[in-house]
Amino acid sequence: MPGDKSLSHRALILAAMAAGRSEITGLGPGADVAATRRAVGDLGIHWDADAVVSPGVSRWSAPHGPVDCGNSGTAMRLLAGALAASPFTTILTGDESLTTRPMERVAEPLRRLGATVVTTSAAPLEVTGGALTGTAVELGIPSAQVRSAFELGALQAAGPSQIDSPPGYRDHTERLLASFGLGTRLTQTRFEVLPGQVPAARYEIPGDPSSASFLWAAAALVPEARVTTPRISLNPGRLGFLEILGTMGAIVEGEVTEAFHGDPVGTISVTGAALLAIDVAGELVAAAIDELPLVAVLGAYAEGITTVRDARELRTKESDRIATTVHMIRDLGGGAEERDDGFTVVGTGFLETGTVDPRGDHRIAMAAAVAATRSYGPVQIAGSEVVDVSWPGFYETLEDAWS
């Protein structure tokens, strides 16, 4: 599997914040991670083979113009936090899709620390750093990106800070900080940041479970088909889709084999079986947010009606993923309906030939390809190259696995 995208972003930014040379291997190959790499380069950080060489966050250089984060909301939000104490103004911008995604949710916690953050609710973000003071914030949503942005800013504040939110988020940043002695978990959801210098380190990025989920789903659709994915990140906040697969009837087996800065890493095997419909809601939505279009594909082939609720956040992704997911299923002859906070899919047991427009969303394109592995005819995917955002070579890998 390609290197985990979430961990790749975090390793790049933490290495850039550290003074010295940090080695990174296994970076995710997609355009989103490349955008983060370019963005930190605009701040005076240099690359030497597989290493990041930085003067440290306190000596970052003011960029010569707006910093382009491409299609990556993670890059924009996490960099806003890292820049919160820098003594200059940075404008973080991105492509057309990124300029529609909500940014006020990350701006307000950073203002609480003392940074000046200007946004018209969406990108671009204008961040002017300053002297930061530790504080406590409580979020209304379980957002790993917002938590991480606050924590990266809080590292540079005078005094400790605390953050809390509903459960269900991926806690990669907090595990990384705890491994460096820069934070501690107080409760299941409350984390305390201890200000300090991020050390130079070595990062060996494990495989991406969000990418692996497309192969897991393809195997789950065919009774007795099996796929095994070694050295995958098994962060508890990333395993909601595996829980969904097991509940629907697929056989899921896993083993932890190592750790990445406090994050479990291991092997997952999924074996296909006859699938039953499922109701996905609550914390499970947050733990499977990137995989919910795949739930719709599985639901089309399952027995019964599959429902996804409490997933209004899908409307703020690279596309309105509630709408694009429903269109995908309908475009292939399936039955699906939008809800304000999710969708329902009728388990007809089949999908047909058709053309899917992912509307520039890589996960919709990839989900359509998985649907094609059991459709009655070929599936055309408009703008299919959009998968390069996260996984160049995805179609070839799926074809190889399927053959």
User: Cis peptide leading into 109, omega within 30 of 0?
Assistant: no
Distance CA 372, CA 376 (A): 8
Distance CA 251, CA 397 (A): 22
Q: SS3 sequence, the chain?
A: CCECHHHHHHHHHHHHHCEEEEEEECCCCCHHHHHHHHHHHCCCCEEECCEEEEECHHHCCCCCCCEECCCCHHHHHHHHHHCCCCCCEEEEECCCCHHHCECHHHHHHHHHHCCEEECCCECCEEEECCCCECCEEECCCCCHHHHHHHHHHHCCCECCEEEECCCCCCCHHHHHHHHCCCEEECCCCCEEECCCCCCCCEEECCECHHHHHHHHHHHHCCCCCEEEEEEEECCHHHCHHHHHHHHHCCEEEEEEEEEECCEEEEEEEEECCCCECCEECCHHHHHCHHHHHHHHHHHHHCEEEEEECCCHHHHHCCCCHHHHHHHHHHHCCCEEEEECCEEEEEECCCCCCEEECCCCCHHHHHHHHHHHCCCCCCEEECCHHHHHHCCCCHHHHHHHHHC
152-to-44, 52, 81, 234, 363 alpha-carbon distances in Å? 18, 18, 5, 23, 28
- Catalytic positions: 290
